Amino acid sequence: MMERLLITGAAGGVGAMMRNRLGHLAQHVRLSDIADFEAEGETAEVIQCDLGDADGVLDLVAGCDGIVHLGGVSVEDRFDRIRWANIDGVYNLYEAARRHDVKRILFASSNHVVGYHPQTSRLDDRAPLRPDGLYGVSKCFGEAIASLYHDKFGIETALVRIGSCFPEPKDHRMLSTWLSIDDLVSLVECVFRVPRLGCPVIYGASNNSMTWWDNAHAGYLGWTPQSNAEDYRQEVERSAQIPQPDDPAAVYQGGKFTTDPIYE
C-alpha cells in the first residue's frame, strides 16, 4: 500500500466517477483539480491547483508515492489553453515527480493520439501516432515526456489511451471505444500492483466485441477487463443515429473529432 496517492483532475467526469474507489491503494488520497470542489462523504485531502503553475504543482506532488494523472483539457480547444494544461502542465507534473522521487504514474492519454487511423485497422502499441486534433497532439507530447522521464530517471508510467469512459456507451463509435469505470478502476489497481511496470502503452477500453485495439503486449499487467459494450447495442441503436459509411464517425477511429476546426 502506498503512503499517499495523488489524483489530478478529480473534479472532472472520469475523476469524479472513480476518486472514491481508489482509497484501498494508499493510506491517504490527495485529490486535485483547477476547479474548487468538495469531496463530500470522502476523507481525502483536497487541494486546488492549476497544472500550469509550476510551483503549485511542485507543492501538490510533495509527499506522494504515486499519481493518477487525469487532469488537463480533455477536449479540442484553443491551443493556448491546451498548451497551458496539457503541455506545460504535464512537464510541471513530471518535473515535480522527479524532484520528489515519485516512481509510478498512470497518465491518462487518449485514443485521439491515433484518431486518424481507419476503423478497419487493429492497433497495438507500435501503431504510428496519427493525432486527430491539437488535443491529441498534446497527448502525444505527454506520452513522449513520460517515455523520456522513464528512460532518463526511472519514473514508470502506464500510458493509458482512454477510449470513451462513461457509465454506458452513447453512440456507435463507443461500441468499440467504451471503457467502463469498473474496468478503469481494475486497471489502476493492476498498474500500482505489478512489481515492474516500465512505460507501456495501454489502450483503455473494455472487453468490447467490436474493439479496434490490441493489448497483448501488456498482458504482464494481469488486467482483464470484464465489461462489454455489446451488452448495450440494442439501446444504442434505438437512441443514436447510425452514421453513413462515408461519415468520419464511421471512417476514423477518432470519429467526429477529426472534423474539429482549429479554434481561435
pLDDT, tens digit, 9 for 90 and up, residues 193-250: 999 999 999 999 999 999 999 999 999 999 999 999 999 999 999 999 899 999 999 9
Q: What is the pLDDT of residues 98-130, one digit of tens each?
A: 999 999 999 999 999 999 999 999 999 999 999
Cell 507501456, residue? 200
Q: Which residues contact 180 (CB under 8 A, 6 or more apart)?
A: 165, 167, 206, 225, 226, 227
Helix H segments across 83-180?
A: 89-99, 134-153, 174-177
Stretch 147-176: mean pLDDT, rounded? 98
The answer to whether residues 18 and 44 touch, using CB atoms and an 8 Å cutoff, is no
Taking residue 202's Cβ as centre, other Cβ atoms within 10 Å add up to 22
Stretch 2-20: mean pLDDT, rounded? 96
- The vertex-239 CA angle with 237 and 242, nearest 5°, equals 50
Q: Supply φ then ψ for residue 12, to 5 degrees.
A: -80, 180
* Catalytic annotation present for 135: yes
Nearest to 131 by CA among 111, 148, 157, 145: 111
Q: What is the pLDDT of residue 192?
A: 98
Stretch 133-142: mean pLDDT, rounded? 98
Under DSSP, is residue 236 helix (H, G, I), strand (E, B) or coil? Answer: helix
Q: What is the pLDDT of residue 164?
A: 98
Could you give the domains of the chain?
2-259 (3.40.50.720)
Q: What is the pLDDT of residue 128?
A: 98
User: Is the model's pLDDT at 30 over the cut of 90?
Assistant: yes
Share of the chain above pLDDT 90, in %: 95
Q: Which residues contact 213 (CB under 8 A, 6 or more apart)?
A: 122, 123, 124, 161, 163, 203, 205
Whole-number Å distance between alpha carbons of 171 and 164? 10
Q: What is the pLDDT of residue 263?
A: 97
pTM: 0.97
Q: What is the pLDDT of residue 34?
A: 97
The answer to whether residues 7 and 19 touch, using CB atoms and an 8 Å cutoff, is yes
* Element (DSSP H or E) covering residue 159: strand 156-162
Share of the chain above pLDDT 70, in %: 99
User: Is the model's pLDDT at 96 over the cut of 70?
Assistant: yes
User: Is the model's pLDDT at 43 over the cut of 80?
Assistant: no
Whole-number Å distance between alpha carbons of 74 and 80? 14
Q: What is the pLDDT of residue 97?
A: 98
Q: What is the pLDDT of residue 38?
A: 84
User: Is the model's pLDDT at 18 over the cut of 80?
Assistant: yes
Stretch 139-160: mean pLDDT, rounded? 98
- Active-site entry in 116, 135, 149, 203: 135
Stretch 144-158: mean pLDDT, rounded? 98
